Amino acid sequence: MSIPSTFPSTNSIPPPFFYDIRGLANWLNNNPTYKQYFINYPNVFTTLLSNTNVISYNGISGYDIEKVPLASNVTTMSQFQLMRYTEQMNLFRQVYAYNSNAYVNYVKNGTIPAYYRFQTYKEHTEFKSSVALVNKLYPFQAMTSGANINGSTLGWIVPFPL
């Protein structure tokens, strides 16, 4: 195994701060050159089209994938929901940072990764809830396997089983 690249390049590990309540759609809106890797996931991003050369409307063509705005899966919530989701994201990032470091140490040094151990059953249950939230905001399959029209994959690495 090789050491992962620096994020956000291909074959890299997204850092813990990458995961927030705004989701992948917001990150892609701020980093539009990466939208090209998500064109094959119409169930995730319905406005990203892969066949850009056939789009024409009233004689106007020139679909620019980088200018297509993407909407988050979480749009409206109460203050209580926001507080709850923030707690879940914080726990996810804590476990993710620990496990990501364990994975990188494994790749660099060959040591068997020692992943995060939950202190209580409640903490483990809370983490499962946080993973469910993160799965809504960040389509991991698309992040690891998404390819552009040339077949190049993004290949972001999720460094531990979710």
Number of domains in the chain: 1
Instruction: Report how far residue 32's alpha carbon sits from residue 26's, in angstroms, rounded to the nearest whole number.
Output: 10
Q: How far is CA 22 from CA 2, 7, 51, 64, 138, in A?
A: 31, 18, 28, 23, 10
Supply the pLDDT for residue 25: 93
Query: In the prediction, which pLDDT does 148 show?
Result: 86
> Any idea which of 54-63, 124-133, 140-149 has the lowest mean pLDDT?
54-63
Nearest-angstrom CA–CA distance, 11 and 162: 18
- C-alpha–C-alpha distance, residues 118 and 103, integer Å: 17
Confidence at residue 100, expressed as pLDDT on a 0 to 100 scale: 92
pLDDT digits (tens, 9 = 90+) for 48-106: 876 555 555 555 566 778 888 888 877 788 999 999 999 999 999 999 999 999 999 99
140 assigned to some structural domain: yes
Q: Residue 137 in contact with residue 74, Cβ under 8 Å? A: yes
Asked if the structure places residue 10 within a domain, the reply is no
- Asked if residue 150 belongs to a domain, the reply is no
Asked if the model's pLDDT at residue 161 lies above 90, the reply is no
Give residue 61's pLDDT.
61
Question: Where in the sequence is the domain holding 51, given as residue range(s)?
Answer: 16-145
**Residue 11, domain member (yes or no):** no
Average pLDDT value for the chain: 86
Within a domain: 97? yes
Does residue 34 sit in helix, strand or coil?
A: helix
What percent of the chain lies above the pLDDT cut of 70? 90
Quick one: pLDDT band at residue 6, thresholds 50, 70, 90? confident
pLDDT for res 1: 59
Distance between CA 107 and CA 100 in Å, rounded?
Answer: 11
Residue 3 belongs to a domain = no
The C-alpha atoms of residue 36 and residue 50 are separated, in whole angstroms, by: 8
For the record, the structure tokens of 147 come out as 């390819």
86 inside domain: yes
Instruction: For residue 132, name the pLDDT band (cuts at 50, 70, 90).
Output: very high
Statement: the pTM of the whole predicted model exceeds 0.75: yes
Does residue 59 belong to any structural domain of this protein? Answer: yes
C-alpha neighbours within 13 Å on the C-beta side of residue 35: 23
